[in-house]
């Protein structure tokens, strides 16, 4: 009797597990594109021309802003900022 109950319980657990495994989560939704193939190709060419596509898998691509300051001006700004924070804790 005991073996029969254990076998029945195991069979019910397996049946419940397989029934749950069939339902995809999240539910699958069909993909419908709103762009034509020509639109996608044009967008790809524009992105390549602007340098928005990288060679490696680096995401997201961040464009660095161009600076109008010279190297000497930036170094003087760093020195001025360092003079103001000498009394503060700067890390180990």
Residue-range domain boundaries for the chain: 1-28
Amino acid 73: pLDDT:
93
Distances in whole angstroms, Cα of residue 78 to Cα of each of 1, 44, 53, 55, 63? 83, 40, 33, 33, 23
Rounded distance between C-alpha atoms, residue 92 and residue 71, angstroms: 27
Per-residue pLDDT tens for 51-63? 777 666 666 667 7
Determine if the pTM surpasses 0.85. no
| Per-residue tens of pLDDT for the chain, all 92 residues | 688 888 988 887 887 766 565 666 777 788 888 999 999 999 989 988 887 776 666 666 677 788 889 999 999 988 888 766 565 666 55
* Residue 53, C-beta contacts closer than 8 angstroms, at least 6 positions apart: 44, 47, 61
């Amino acid at each position: 009797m005991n073996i029969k109950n254990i076998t029945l319980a195991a069979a019910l657990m397996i049946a419940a597990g397989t029934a749950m495994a069939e339902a995809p989560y999240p539910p699958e939704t069909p993909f419908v594109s709103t762009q034509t193939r020509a639109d996608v190709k044009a967008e790809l060419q524009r992105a390549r021309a602007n340098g928005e596509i990288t060679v490696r898998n680096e995401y997201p691509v961040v464009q660095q802003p161009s600076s109008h300051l010279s190297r000497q001006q930036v170094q003087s700004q760093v020195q001025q900022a360092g003079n103001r924070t000498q009394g503060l804790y700067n890390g180990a």
